[in-house]
Structure 1
Amino acid sequence: MKKAVTLVDVAKKAGVSVMTASRAMSGEGYASEETKAKVHAAAQELGYAPNALARMMKGGRTNVIGVVVNDLSSVVVNSFVTALSEEVRKYEMDLFIYNSLGDLGDGKGRRLSQMLHGLWDGLVFVLPRMSDDYLKTLEQSDSPIVLINYCRQETSLPVVRGDNVNGARDGVAHLIELGHRRIGFVRGTAYTGQSAERERGYRAALEAAGIDVDETLIAQGDFNEPSGVVAGRALLELAEPPTAIFAANDAMALGCMSAIREKGLRIPQDISIIGFDDMPAAAVSQPGLTTMRHPVAAMAQAAVQELMRRIQNQPGRRQRIEFPSEFVVRDSAGPGPGAPATKRGKARKQA
């Protein structure tokens, strides 16, 4: 069996003391850039892999960031994980991904705490589904923690999030400007609070235009495409169906588009639709889906920077960092019934 490479071997190869090699590898204490380069080159040549568990037991940093998600099949979650990975690499740290496959705090959350305790320098939760008790446990922890796109309730933890309310309001206002008055809304689940905020924006846009909210035009989905199909069918079966639909995310909007085609209707000539998130499929759907986009890369950068401040015992910037949504206009939203022809140019404006 091949003998494992140790820090002693790395130090000898680099021509430095073991203490200096340790400082260069861990980032704790001073080591010149030249020394760091020599030590890292020696480690790479020898195939040395620092033992994070050993460093943790000695009370040192592990140079590992944990990222907790609920569903790795989610395109939005994956986009955040990719952006976080790129940002963490800038700090010469590694990423540990844990897919909880459900709500945190249902037993899996307790196992998560036991498994990850002490093995990471900080944690990022992406679109977390967590119980109130689990959130409280995190708030009471002295571990560095940042939440991404958590809006369900106020928390003392730092949160990096996109502006859901104004983004949704802009989208629905766009439909109103195009002449639509009966606008349906497809809700998502209540896990992170994003759906509720997007519904607030929907209601605010209608109220600002003097349009009463018709509760029969609000259908329930679960942020997945099949639920959008079901919700779309329900809205289209109404005695007076909507002329436009706003779905709380792109996946449900694409599901609604399938339901619309099933009905033999055209988009946007017969009914308009917009989504939220600007997932890749939105740009290649037929027609292209009008939607709202959050700046994922900038949000990931802010989350890692905020986490690093706390890992390094520096003052945090602020508890809530919010980014505006960008409105992406494609071809799925067209003029409403009786709208003047001048609305058509705006409806066809490309992102």
Structure 2
Amino acid sequence: MANKKASVTLVDVAREAGVSVMTASRALSGEGYASEETRSKVQAAAKQLGYAPNALARMMKGGKTNVIGIVVNDLSSQVVNAFVTALSVEVRKVEMDMFIYSTMGTLGEGRGAAVSQMLHGLWDGLIYVLPCMTDDFLKSLENASSPVLLLNYFRHETPLPVVRGDNYNGAQDAVSHLIELGHRRIAFVGGTAFTGQSDLRERGYLAALADAGIAADPSLIYQGNFQELSGLEAGRHLLALEQPPTAIFAASDTMALGCMNAIRERGLAIPQDISVVGFDDIPAASLAQPPLTTLRHPFQAMAQAAVQELLRRIRSEPGRRQRVEFPSEFVIRESTGPAPRTAAATPRKRAAARKADSA
């Protein structure tokens, strides 16, 4: 006698429940939206028919999974979380499901190729949000046959499709803004060089100084690591200089927030004594005191472009693009202001002067 479960398909369940196959899939998988009423109806139909989904068997047969995989390296990053949230919205719009795989850091030699081989058998296409991708892992992706897209990747040129935000021009705009406010001693706090983003932001910083005829001062360039603690350390170092900066441009909001803490430690006011600019517009930027001037990547537009481009490759459609780059938006808030008239004084003297004025 034939096994009843083996003969029942998702199409049968959808027909029994009176819903579309896509809705039945969402209701049974628990991924994607389905009302409680619909979910109960579909689950009841599946139970009545004896349906047991077997996604692995379907994948082994070469069928479509209707799933897009998202590979990330750091779920604690607010920027990565912003991208994942935006991607989940766009994946749902095209009635597909999304799964997330975290590499938990940089994929080193050997492990990168193994992980790549494993992931390519699970989903119809993959979006990698891996700024710290190693060279061998990138090569394994370039040699893969499955559809792949890199989101916000800058480190190397690659034939793979890339959707990313602009770093160079945004940084140039930020520093030009500070110059227009009268600042001449503008510091730069860089992040780790491995991703390529900090380098582009530093180049934009240097270009803005050159355009204004301001010679770059190596003592005002500090190497951080994108984390808030390195921003705190950078701020302390810069403020201890004999000629401290009147403005700081940090390559990430987290480092900018650390710099702001260092400034407050010195008894200085933002932006009256020192202006601060960040990059990324993480949620904490608008909640800082004062709210942080920063640069924002259009996360939702970038996620939409990434999903649509990946779908074109999954479907082997024409008109595919190798690179899409979105301009960053400069968000001016209260952490930037005119250069202080006492710019030549040390931070300690400026702080003392402010206390005397308020006495």
Q: In the alignment, is residue 46 of structure 1 matched against residue 49 of structure 2? A: no
Matched-pair contact (CA < 8 Å) for 2:189–2:250: yes
Question: In 1, Cα distance between the equivalents of 2:139 and 2:13?
Answer: 48
SS at match of 2:194: coil
Structure 1 residues 218-266: Cα deviation after superposition (integer angstroms, max 9, x where no partner): 1011111111111111111111111100000100000000011111111
Matched-pair contact (CA < 8 Å) for 1:283–1:289: yes
Matched-pair contact (CA < 8 Å) for 1:290–1:328: yes
> What one-letter code is carried by the residue in structure 2 that aligns with 1:170?
D
- After superposition, residues 1-40 of structure 1 pair within 5 angstroms as 8=8, 11-12=11-12
Q: 1:24 to 1:217 in 2, by over 3 A?
A: closer
Q: Which residue is 1:32 aligned to?
A: none
Give TM-score, length-normalised by structure 2: 0.83
- After superposition, residues 317-336 of structure 1 pair within 5 angstroms as 317-336=320-339
Q: In the alignment, is residue 129 of structure 1 matched against residue 132 of structure 2? A: yes
SS at match of 1:191: helix
How many angstroms does 1:208 deviate by?
0.5
Q: Which residue is 1:115 aligned to?
A: 118
Question: In 2, Cα distance between the equivalents of 1:88 and 1:297?
Answer: 11
Q: 1:9 to 1:227 in 2, by over 3 A?
A: same
Percent identical pairs in the alignment equals: 66
Q: 1:23 to 1:159 in 2, by over 3 A?
A: closer
Unmatched tracts of structure 2, length 5 or more: 26-37, 343-359
- After superposition, residues 200-349 of structure 1 pair within 5 angstroms as 200-338=203-341
Matched-pair contact (CA < 8 Å) for 1:288–1:330: yes
> What one-letter code is carried by the residue in structure 1 that aligns with 2:89?
E
Q: 1:4 to 1:262 in 2, by over 3 A?
A: farther
Q: 1:188 to 1:12 in 2, by over 3 A?
A: closer
Question: In 2, Cα distance between the equivalents of 1:197 and 1:225?
Answer: 20
Q: CA RMSD in A?
A: 2.6
Give TM-score, length-normalised by structure 1: 0.85
Unmatched tracts of structure 1, length 5 or more: 27-38, 340-351
> What one-letter code is carried by the residue in structure 2 that aligns with 1:121?
D
How many angstroms does 1:13 deviate by?
5.2
Q: 1:24 to 1:293 in 2, by over 3 A?
A: closer
> What one-letter code is carried by the residue in structure 2 that aligns with 1:151?
F
Pick the aligned partner of 1:192 from 179, 195, 201: 195
Out of 94-103 and 170-179, give the one that drifted further. Answer: 94-103
Question: In 2, Cα distance between the equivalents of 1:328 and 1:180?
Answer: 18
Matched-pair contact (CA < 8 Å) for 1:189–1:223: yes
> What one-letter code is carried by the residue in structure 2 that aligns with 1:8?
V
Structure 1 residues 284-318: Cα deviation after superposition (integer angstroms, max 9, x where no partner): 10001000111000000000000000000113531
SS at match of 2:94: coil
